[in-house]
Structure 1
């Protein structure tokens, strides 16, 4: 890793346990802000921007292993010996791989709507929409939204992506995530190191969106292979963005798992 990842620390009490929150693809540390606020009365929180996202460094080559190294650097820099990890989507993959590589640093693990598995391509339309935005010509987010709508039908997806659009100090429009780098390394993002032979025997919870197909029965053998003590919860009526669609239900499940 060329530099430490960007992260936010919310330390409420030196005696509280630590929890690390890791966002998904195209997100940033604020994606799980609702959960951060919910947990701060019982946990110290570290919210991380993954590489190529938010205010973290852009890499020549993104990989899950690079992200894991970055998370470890953050824990070392913060002098946190052990922590629970909560990751959504891509962040869940990073959290799972971290637990497999550094089990001695992990108290509990929560993976939100993602499995330790490789996935088929599903973001080509998103990349097309992002690349259709001419940053030198738009006058605001409305122009960007109009351009993306040619490729991305879901208004909610476009609004989520637009959270990453900002003006720099020179007044130029920029994306906070590295579109070119993420697109170039997309196979690494949707992939999984199938040669990984480690297991994490600790406390693991998978939280599935009831309407999402990111976690299915077909993933059960893969989950059992790496996480023999894993349990699962389903939030009915939610898709992949379960933490945003039903935040109270999601927060309650996470809190109960971290504070049994």
Structure 2
């Protein structure tokens, strides 16, 4: 599948500064490249940054099939089409699962792997409220505010609603539609199950960025991560949750900046 993407070319801040190479960012479930503009612009000081819309998200095509394996194959097709070799791959949540799967199935291909707040294991599809908040008919709604008010009936969390609303598009007709393939994602409720075999591991240089208050990472997960990725650095933002690239952006970008400064 041909994925939509945004490119942020390498911005050479000082004369003679070399690029660390291409940086690829994979968003999480219900996200898109739009969630990563600030991060991508900042990281372009180190190399060219590509923010991808994964299948059924953003401006990329919709499909009845949605799996980590297929998203990894989409990524492989993107890298081949753009002749990208040895990139740095950053993945958040669902994007992190795709990034790890790609790394496990493409040994020694990545220059570095960066995973945000997800572990190499199965997860339940615990997004019933999110799906319901995007499943009511949008005909007759004349503003985003009215749609947000209707969504509140299913999803009280303001932060998550505002996150979802980034994928709401107003068409030329004045009507609204979701860029997300809501029905397709709803049918893919086993997308986070049985992805990784117990025996798989990776020698890729790997950085895990974790929110200290996140519900996605347990103490057992930290043990599993160390087992799967022996060439590992773990950074925890103590007060952060699952969306530390947004809620704790300063600390998040500082950690990445320090990491990229060490890459030759």
- TM score, norm. by length of structure 2: 0.92
**Cα RMSD for the two superposed structures:** 1.7
Contact 1:116 1:192 (8 Å CA) reproduced: no
How far, CA to CA, are the matches of 2:173 and 2:141 in structure 1?
15
How far, CA to CA, are the matches of 1:108 and 1:119 in structure 2?
24
Deviations 1:143-194 (A, max 9, x none): 1111111111111111111111112233331101110011100211x32423
Closer, same or farther in 2 for the Cα pair 1:155/1:39, shift >3 Å?
same
How far, CA to CA, are the matches of 1:37 and 1:216 in structure 2?
31
Contact 2:11 2:44 (8 Å CA) reproduced: no
- 2:142 is the counterpart of 1:139: yes
Gaps of 5+ in 1: none
Deviations 1:208-232 (A, max 9, x none): 1111111111113432342122221
Equivalent residue for 1:44? 48
Alignment counterpart, residue 190 of structure 2, candidates 180, 187, 191: 187
Deviations 1:42-66 (A, max 9, x none): 1111110011000111111100011
In the TM superposition, structure 1's runs of 4+ consecutive aligned residues that sit over 6 Å from their partners are none
SS in 2 for 1:180: helix
Gaps of 5+ in 2: 13-17
Deviations 1:54-91 (A, max 9, x none): 01111111000111111111111111111011111111
Contact 1:100 1:198 (8 Å CA) reproduced: yes
User: Matched residue pairs, number?
Assistant: 256
How far, CA to CA, are the matches of 1:240 and 1:185 in structure 2?
21
How far, CA to CA, are the matches of 2:198 and 2:22 in structure 1?
27
Q: CA deviation at 1:13?
A: 6.5
SS in 2 for 1:174: strand
